[in-house]
Structure 1
Amino acid sequence: MLTRDDDTPEASGGRGDVHGEATAVRRAGRAGRLARRREARVGLAFLAPMLLLFLVFRFGPTLGGALLSLTDYRLNGEWEFIGAENYTRLMGDDLFWESLGVTAVYTAIFVPMTVLLSLGTAVLLHRTVWARGFFRGVFFLPYVTSVVLAAVIWKWIYDLEDGLLNQALSLVSIGPIDFLGDEHLVLSSIAVTSAWKGFGYSMLILLAGLQSIPREVVEAATIDGATAWQRFRWVTLPLLRPVLFFVLVIEAIGAFQVFDAMYVMTSGGPVRASYSLVYFLYDSGFKFFDFGYASAIGIVLFVVVLVFSLIQRRLIGREAD
């Protein structure tokens, strides 16, 4: 009598083995999902304190400032909801547009100066083998110093009569130059101070980006006969674009928020030539106690920085991706 192959004991055993393997795979998959969920819950438990602090001390004040900008808040705690009146008033305030222009000019000076200084220093350190750690620490040292201390030091360097820079210029029969008293030089002078203070941070980021570039790519370009400039222009710089985009964004955000150096070195002068947007916010809130108006300035500053970052993302970030 003929029998079907799948009725044989061997066939029945084969089906049982397949069924058992499928069951084992399902159990393993279920166990893996449970393990991943357990790991996610544990990770969330470790993250929860920091997330709570972020919500309370970051997101909370931001939301509070946005709500405060819609009110007429008084120093005694009384307030009145006025809607968008603060924003309407802001758009017609000449001092707002003047301070925004000062901030934009300062940003246009500070950001390229800092990025070029950081990139140049990072490239030199990347090519230097001897005492690289020492020089990296020396260049980063100004970043960890106080902004006020740096501003005081550079205010003395720029001093019209006893400043170190004017004394050096006098040796070659130049000057004296009133770096902080000339409305055409004051923003550049403050930008130099801020660049000296903060370029070390961007330098370290760019240096890390340079060290992450595969050496084989650079060596292949060298073998093909590319010069040092060609290797930097066509190999290093394109591969460095994601890091460069990040540096540009953080330096632009820092430039739009400039206040300390201007407050210490010039007090917003001369003739409001260094009167930044944050300085305007400070005066509105803590000099005239117009907290709703100051909050509106802060929200507008946030929007300006966001738009500027999105523009940079469109111009540089997409190419980097």
Structure 2
Amino acid sequence: MSAARRREALAGLAFVAPMLVLFLVFRIGPTLGAVFLSLTDYRLNGDWTFIGAGNYARLLDDRLFWEAFGVTALYTVLYVPMTVVLALGTAVLLHRTLWLRGFFRGLFFLPYVTSIVLAAVIWKWIYEVEDGLLNSVLGGLGLGPVDFLGSESLVLPSIAAASAWKGFGYSMLILLAGLQSVPREVTEAAVIDGANGWQRFRWVTLPLLRPVLFFVLVIEAIGAFQVFDAMYVMTAGGPVRASYSLVYFLYDSGFKFFDFGYACAVGLVLFLVVLVFSLIQRRLVGREVD
């Protein structure tokens, strides 16, 4: 390597070094620390004992862990399609709308930048049995009241709907950018061939949108598996742990019972679950991305 190339490489390394150090200290370091702690019985006073895979073996026999896993999986199945369909439908409407497009784009994105705690409090009031907005409307129609957050069968769909309202704006903007990148010549050729609106969307737009759709599915699935705030604020994991997620279980293990090694094991299992789920999505949805 010539001296000029060496100086150029060193200059580039100097520019990225601060971010690289921050990444190693605040990302890689804690991750490796969590892996180590998951192999120990670590307590709040700093005492620890190396137990190997003991925490993971304990997880396999922990009924509460499997209940939380089931709740998280069901929530993900409810939340991800709901959010993606809402985001895609809104993006299509905004893509075809020319009047006040910027205004509506900002309006639909506004819930995303709202605090999740504030959004959860608002939706908790909307779902209230006695004086909630939704039950007031249902009562006027002679259909209420409905205990949305107190019913084991309705609590997860209710939280998923509130979370979808909160989070769909980000995916909407990504999908809107993907729609705007679809070549106009392709859709015009489909029109000339006699394809109607649905046929153009199904056989032209949607396949070209596959890479963007895959990205949206992955980030929404990751967010769904990490759900905690909405359940903590709206239901505190109830009723009867019907909204007790894996992250809620991790939170209780680490910060309620101070079993940090066990909590780290839960976190790493959650990471592996998200990784496997993302690989499955890539197989099903993103197989033509490359």
TM range (shorter): over 0.9
Give the one of 227, 237, 243 matched to 1:274.
243
Partner Cα separation in structure 2 for residue 64 and residue 213 of structure 1:
44
Give the one of 218, 227, 231 matched to 2:196.
227
Flag structure 1 segments of 5+ consecutive residues without an equivalent: 1-29
CA shift, 1:189, in A, is: 0.3
Cα deviations across residues 246-284 of structure 1 (Å, max 9, x unaligned)? 000000000000000000000000000000000000000
Q: Which protein is bigger by CA-based radius of gyration?
A: 1
Give the one of 214, 222, 234 matched to 1:245.
214
Aligned-partner residue type, residue 236 of structure 1: T
Q: Which residue of 2 aligns with 1:194?
A: 163
2:182 alignment partner, SS class: coil
Partner Cα separation in structure 2 for residue 133 and residue 121 of structure 1:
13
Q: Which residue of 1 aligns with 2:224?
A: 255
Q: Which residue of 2 aligns with 1:292?
A: 261
Partner Cα separation in structure 2 for residue 243 and residue 37 of structure 1:
38
CA shift, 1:95, in A, is: 0.5
Q: Which residue of 1 aligns with 2:141?
A: 172
CA shift, 1:51, in A, is: 1.5
Cα deviations across residues 214-270 of structure 1 (Å, max 9, x unaligned)? 111111111111000000000000000000000000000000000000000000000
- 1:313 equivalenced with 2:282 (yes/no): yes
8 Å Cα contact 1:213-1:239 kept in structure 2: yes
8 Å Cα contact 1:238-1:320 kept in structure 2: no
Q: Which residue of 2 aligns with 1:8?
A: none
Partner Cα separation in structure 2 for residue 136 and residue 320 of structure 1:
27
Flag structure 2 segments of 5+ consecutive residues without an equivalent: none
8 Å Cα contact 1:218-1:231 kept in structure 2: yes
Partner Cα separation in structure 2 for residue 38 and residue 158 of structure 1:
63
What TM-score, normalized to structure 1?
Answer: 0.88
CA shift, 1:36, in A, is: 5.9
Cα deviations across residues 75-130 of structure 1 (Å, max 9, x unaligned)? 11111111110000011101111100000000000000000000000000011111
1:148 alignment partner, SS class: helix
Partner Cα separation in structure 1 for residue 5 and residue 196 of structure 2:
51
Q: Which residue of 1 aligns with 2:76?
A: 107
Q: Which residue of 2 aligns with 1:145?
A: 114
Cα deviations across residues 167-205 of structure 1 (Å, max 9, x unaligned)? 001111011000000000000000011101010000000
What TM-score, normalized to structure 2?
Answer: 0.97
1:95 alignment partner, SS class: helix
Q: Which residue of 2 aligns with 1:121?
A: 90
1:319 alignment partner, SS class: coil
Partner Cα separation in structure 2 for residue 172 and residue 141 of structure 1:
30
Cα deviations across residues 257-315 of structure 1 (Å, max 9, x unaligned)? 00000000000000000000000000000001101000100010000000000111111
Aligned-partner residue type, residue 262 of structure 2: Y
Count residues with an aligned counterpart: 290
8 Å Cα contact 1:180-1:186 kept in structure 2: yes
Give the one of 51, 54, 60 matched to 2:29.
60
Give the one of 44, 49, 56 matched to 2:18.
49
Aligned-partner residue type, residue 161 of structure 1: E
